[in-house]
Structure 1
Amino acid sequence: MPARNAFYAQSGGVTAVINTSAAGVIEAARDHPEAINTVYAGVNGILGALDEQLIDTGRESAESIAALRYTPGGAFGSARYKLKGLDENRAEYERLIEVFRAHDIGYFFYNGGGDSQDTAHKVSQLGEAMGYPITCIGVPKTVDNDLPGTDTCPGFGSVAKYIAVATREAGLDVASMAETSTRVFILETMGRHAGWIAAASALARDHEEAPPHVILLPEVALDEARFLERVRACVERIGYCVVVVSEGLRTADGRFVADQGTRDAFGHAQLGGVAPAIAAMVRERLGYKYHYAIADYLQRAARHIASATDVEQAHALGRAAVEFAVAGHNAVMPTIVRDADAPYRWHIGQVPLADVANREARMPAEYIDADNLFVTEAALRYLRPLIAGEDYPPYRDGLPEHVHLRAERVAPRCPPFRD
């Protein structure tokens, strides 16, 4: 069977290691010239296929592709763009097949979360139905760590490390000034429905009274009275309190505390501002002076403090996607399978795309303490190995050095699709 081209795209919110997975895909494809000629990358994710804006990664040097390992953000551009169901908007899927056919693309590697795995699954189904079979492999990515079927997701280990470090360092700052200044510090993390990132802050605690003192998770409704009593008791006992809260925290009636009343491109409620909401509650009910911080993009972009475990797994999963494809697998996603906690051991597995598409893996009940205000030792055993090790980027003039690709475009062969 003659070699064909591949299409790779990045989807959704980027991470500190999504480009590491890209490097894994491209390097592995170059190791299989008998199956894959060139990897075309979509400009701004799946939009690159719809608009036929393709980057020829074959024109990038091996050194540049290797340097993606150290570069945060999305090197080819990402997008929050959800393709609707086949029955609702078949034209977009047919457009993908049209572009793939025009550029002899026989492999589709989609690097993203649950919505992206759903798209890859639908493309594999439509290709078969249209007489243009295409091998579709999902490459897992999400800082939220909420993809089912895999022990962890690339991007999570690094954001978990960032949040744990930030919690410890900020806690020392607050402790040193608490007598005359801030009594309560609130750190807001990402996490719409799953509290993995906020939970990782617990790794900062190196003795019983160290921060964080309270963790508020989206898996459990906020009990205001219990929360405020914990804060008051903490301040009275040690002089200050550090609270870490997930953006997806909900009230007892199921509403997001920080719902902005708008929706993103995937149809999800846009969140932001749970930290000031919690701060206002502390001020009004307890009268303590407070400060808050919203980690926002900083937490997912912090490649300078990435977890070595995360980097290694992101690269391995990118390579595995190609190895699965050339071995004849289709409509699957490579996964991390945990073999042991300490010492940490893992291997690559796989799961059908149909089993991960549009699904979320939340924190299990046994990871949340009885008061719903912290995590258990079981959660810490799970989390510890994921932040292990350092993989620093090269530095120049005191700053991390990142690669800038040539990003040469491929000449279009299809008529325009969108206005």
Structure 2
Amino acid sequence: MAAKKQNAFYAQSGGVTSVINASACGVIETARQHKKVIGKVYAGRNGIIGALTEDLIDTSKESKKDIAALKHTPSGAFGSCRYKLKSIEENRAEYERLIEVFKAHDIGYFFYNGGGDSMDTAHKVSQLSETMGYPMTCIGIPKTVDNDLPITDNCPGFGSVAKYVAVSIREAGFDVASMAKTSTKVFVMEVMGRHAGWIAAAGGLAAEKEGDSPHIILFPEIAFNKEKFLKKVNRCVKKFGYCAIVVSEGAKYKDGTFLADAGTVDAFGHKQLGGVAPVVAQMVKAELGFKYHWAVSDYLQRAARHIASATDVEQAYAMGQAAVEFAVAGKNSVMPTIVRKNTKSYKWSIGEAPLSAVANVEKMMPRKYISADGMHITDACRDYMLPLIKGESYPPYKNGLPQYVTLKNEPVKKKLRKKFEI
């Protein structure tokens, strides 16, 4: 238990999801229930950048109703960012600035909602705060559509993307099948997943019997073999009249070259990928001559709150709630996790993992989840994924459109004279 009442800082990091705001809702609502220990909850405007620039948002200015509405609102309500803090050795000034801002605003709790890089940041802040004589409670909150965080059974954000992808390729498959005799014979849908093929694998849930879409899935974990791929496309068109393909953006050749390497890098130093769907589609056209269409799910897949998984929404909220409960209980430098119980029907509980074991570690698709030919999923994968996409959690609708909340996001008055340049 904290020695004295202190404020909390919450920030959203990396690519947003359709349920990250549900985690924010869990944090804020739970913190409000612990008024004797936690004062105000300040949010970082645009993630950790908000802390570095002392651009804080006072969530206490938001009504109970609006905070509750976060549970059904997609994207990052306070703004997110792709900003990776360097190591303490490389740029100690950044970490010292964070502590300086936290100290100025009497912030003793740090809740960071993101993926592996974010867990690394939270861990480092915890370590440095101790050495600087201003110890803080740092709790990570898992979030990533890529489902690639270790230790936790799955990641909030993934179940809803998986549902969207499975539904989309099923519906597109019906469309292509109906036109294949005289029109499009090959459809390629590109999904996210730079190194891990979890999202691509989710498309396989739509194929319940032979001939169902998708017929082919291309994973980052399996080296792309052009000859083998084209032969299977040709067989599918001859047998079923068409071929539907789900391809992960991170599909690559045996030598590690991405099919869609754009030759640039993003803010995290990751290779910028230029769109693999048109590359694959053009390959089919050039070699087999089939008419094609392609689509890139892009932001649509992670923003689709209208088709979110009820399981995903529930787990996202629970992770935010657990983070606060962990902090109040005196735990530090940990991340709440989802633990799948060994029961016939799907049940889960909340566990925990040290941030040091989660930081910068990617969990890839197990080979047992990928079919022997490397181009579809197994029953084991289906058993793992199906519970994660179950249940509907529709937002309220008005005039035919979902109703989402836009917060006031009122700023906290700055206390430091020194500005920090990003």
Q: Same fold (TM over 0.5)?
A: yes
Matches within 5 A, 1:259-298: 259-298=261-300
2:247 corresponds to: 245
The RMSD of aligned alpha carbons is 0.8
- Amino acid aligned to 1:320: A
* Structure 1 segments (4+ residues) deviating >2 Å: none
Match of 1:416 among 393, 414, 419: 419
Matches within 5 A, 1:197-346: 197-340=199-342, 342-346=344-348
SS of 2:109's equivalent in the other structure is: strand
1:63 corresponds to: 65
1:103 corresponds to: 105
1:347 corresponds to: 349
**Shift in Å at residue 272 of structure 1?**
3.0
**Shift in Å at residue 32 of structure 1?**
0.6
SS of 2:43's equivalent in the other structure is: strand
- Amino acid aligned to 2:132: M
Q: Give a deviation string over 1:292-314, Cα, whole Å, max 9, x none.
A: 00000000000000000000000
2:9 corresponds to: 7
SS of 1:265's equivalent in the other structure is: coil
**Shift in Å at residue 341 of structure 1?**
6.4
SS of 1:188's equivalent in the other structure is: strand
**Shift in Å at residue 259 of structure 1?**
1.1
2:21 corresponds to: 19
**Shift in Å at residue 366 of structure 1?**
0.5
Q: Greater shift after overlay, 66-75 or 266-275? A: 266-275
- Amino acid aligned to 2:329: A
- Amino acid aligned to 2:270: H
Match of 2:91 among 84, 89, 92: 89
Report the Cα distance in structure 1 between the residues aligned to 2:368 and 2:34, rounded to whole angstroms. Answer: 44
Report the Cα distance in structure 1 between the residues aligned to 2:308 and 2:396, rounded to whole angstroms. Answer: 13
Report the Cα distance in structure 2 between the residues aligned to 1:371 and 1:395, rounded to whole angstroms. Answer: 44
Matches within 5 A, 1:386-397: 386-397=388-399
Fraction of identical pairs, as percent: 66
SS of 2:262's equivalent in the other structure is: strand
Q: TM-score, normalised to structure 2's length?
A: 0.98
Match of 1:124 among 113, 123, 126: 126
Q: Give a deviation string over 1:150-198, Cα, whole Å, max 9, x none.
A: 0000000000000000010000000000000000000000000000000
Q: Give a deviation string over 1:352-409, Cα, whole Å, max 9, x none.
A: 0000101100000111111111111100000000000000000011100011111110
SS of 1:416's equivalent in the other structure is: coil
**Shift in Å at residue 207 of structure 1?**
2.0
Report the Cα distance in structure 1 between the residues aligned to 2:408 and 2:371, rounded to whole angstroms. Answer: 50
Q: Give a deviation string over 1:44-90, Cα, whole Å, max 9, x none.
A: 00000000000000111111100000111100000000000000000
SS of 1:215's equivalent in the other structure is: strand
Report the Cα distance in structure 2 between the residues aligned to 1:99 and 1:377, rounded to whole angstroms. Answer: 50
8 Å contact kept, 1:341–1:381: no
Report the Cα distance in structure 2 between the residues aligned to 1:183 and 1:298, rounded to whole angstroms. Answer: 24
8 Å contact kept, 1:250–1:257: yes
Q: Aligned residue pairs: how many?
A: 419
8 Å contact kept, 1:112–1:138: yes
1:138 corresponds to: 140
SS of 1:197's equivalent in the other structure is: helix
**Runs (5+) with no aligned partner, structure 1:** none
SS of 2:351's equivalent in the other structure is: strand
8 Å contact kept, 1:72–1:301: yes
Cα distance change, pair 13–285 in 1 and its aligned pair in 2 (3 A): same
- Amino acid aligned to 1:323: E
**Shift in Å at residue 342 of structure 1?**
4.2
Report the Cα distance in structure 2 between the residues aligned to 1:27 and 1:72, rounded to whole angstroms. Answer: 18
Q: Give a deviation string over 1:306-343, Cα, whole Å, max 9, x none.
A: 00000000000000000000100000000000004641
SS of 2:341's equivalent in the other structure is: strand
1:375 corresponds to: 377
- Amino acid aligned to 1:255: T
Report the Cα distance in structure 2 between the residues aligned to 1:200 and 1:14, rounded to whole angstroms. Answer: 19
